[in-house]
Amino acid sequence: MIECNNEKINRSSPVEYLDKLVDDVCATYEDSKGINHLQGFDIPCQQEVLEVIEELLEIVFPGFKGVRTYDMNTIRYSVGEMLSCLHKKLSRLIFKALHYNCKMENCKDCEVSELTANATRTLLEAIPRIREVMKKDIHAAYDGDPAAFSLDEIVVSYPGVKAITIQRFAHVLYHHKVPLIPRMMTEYAHSETGIDIHPGAHLDKGVFIDHGTGVVIGETATLGDNVKIYQGVTLGALSFPKDACGQIIKGARRHPTIESDVTIYSGATVLGNITIGKGSIIGGNVWLTESVAPGSKITIPTPELRIKTPKQ
């Protein structure tokens, strides 16, 4: 029965309305800058960014994904090949992004090649440092979570590790003012982990984000060593600085500074250009918009819960 009808469907000509619809859709392509990408110049595409991320993760955590095996005897060849490959892909991607910017701003892209070379090199040269920092992050996770049984377990199953690693690379490109790519990188991490760290945020070593879903860390936030953050924490902006014309000023400092050894429990919201002093503990669900001194312990007063217990 179904298939008979199915045949009828296929037979029913779509043409009555299709031609008009094609015209209508094409008409919306005419002038809609910002949601077309039809002609003229390229932008970095998601697939390319994803590949670069996967290769960076493979170099930082070699062998964990399980798609390649390595041998200490021949590791230099493997690493050399991966880096050569990354060098090519990154150069192409960063060039596209910088060139895109020039087109957007109608400038001549006279320095794009040099800027591309610099950004690519800086990113690649950051790998050894980021590996060292990630070791500290992973030890921090191991020390801080009673559910963690080994360092390897943390690498293969803690979303925070993935999100932070990607952000650390995105941050390098952010400093080189490479457009689009850093944000695409962190959004990929966000999509995979529920942890949304802006590429602009500065994270010191030993950062541990547990569970992580719903964590938001804003563009101008700064995190010191050994900061520990739980799910649902927001490090956000209280208000957006505006210029004389009432336009939001892009990129202005508006997020918290979290000093070393601070712990922020789940659901806490910390807003504005404030400072949480070294070693402070911010309790769950706390809503904080002012700086606190080092060593502070902030909690919300347990509200008088309304508890109705049935008569027995």
Residues 279-298 that bind a copy of itself (CB under 8 A): 284-289, 292-298
In the complex, what is the shortest distance from the CB of residue 227 to a copy of itself, in angstroms, rounded to a whole number? 18
Give the Cβ contact number of residue 197 at 10 Å: 31
Nearer to a copy of itself, 221 or 223 (CB): 221
Dist. CA 200–CA 229, nearest whole Å: 18
| Contact (CB, 8 A) for 144 and 228 | yes
Dist. CA 79–CA 58, nearest whole Å: 10
Residue 274 touching a copy of itself (CB under 8 A): no
Among 21, 54, 107, 118, contact with a copy of itself (rule: CB under 8 A): 21
Among 53, 154, 164, 178, contact with a copy of itself (rule: CB under 8 A): 154
Give the Cβ contact number of residue 172 at 10 Å: 20
Among 89, 175, 179, 274, contact with a copy of itself (rule: CB under 8 A): 179
Phi-psi region of 206 (alpha: psi -120 to 50; beta: other; left: phi over 0): left
Dist. CA 280–CA 257, nearest whole Å: 12
Among 214, 260, 275, 291, contact with a copy of itself (rule: CB under 8 A): 214
Among 55, 204, 267, 291, contact with a copy of itself (rule: CB under 8 A): 267
103-122 residues in contact with a copy of itself (CB under 8 A) are 104, 109, 112-113, 116-117, 121
Give me the half-sphere count of Cα atoms (radius 13 Å) on the Cβ side of residue 272: 10
Terminal alpha carbon distance of the chain: 60
226-265 residues in contact with a copy of itself (CB under 8 A) are 231-232, 234, 236-237, 240-241, 248-252, 254
Among 56, 183, 227, 235, contact with a copy of itself (rule: CB under 8 A): 183
Kindly list the distances between the CA atom of residue 76 and the CA atoms of 61, 71, 73, 122, 249, in Å, as whole numbers in the listed order: 15, 9, 8, 20, 47
Residue 76 touching a copy of itself (CB under 8 A): yes
Each residue 134-153 as x (binds a copy of itself by CB under 8 A) or -, in order, gives xx--xx--xxxxxxxxxxxx
Q: How many chain residues are in contact with a copy of itself, going by CB under 8 A?
A: 172
Residue 208 touching a copy of itself (CB under 8 A): no
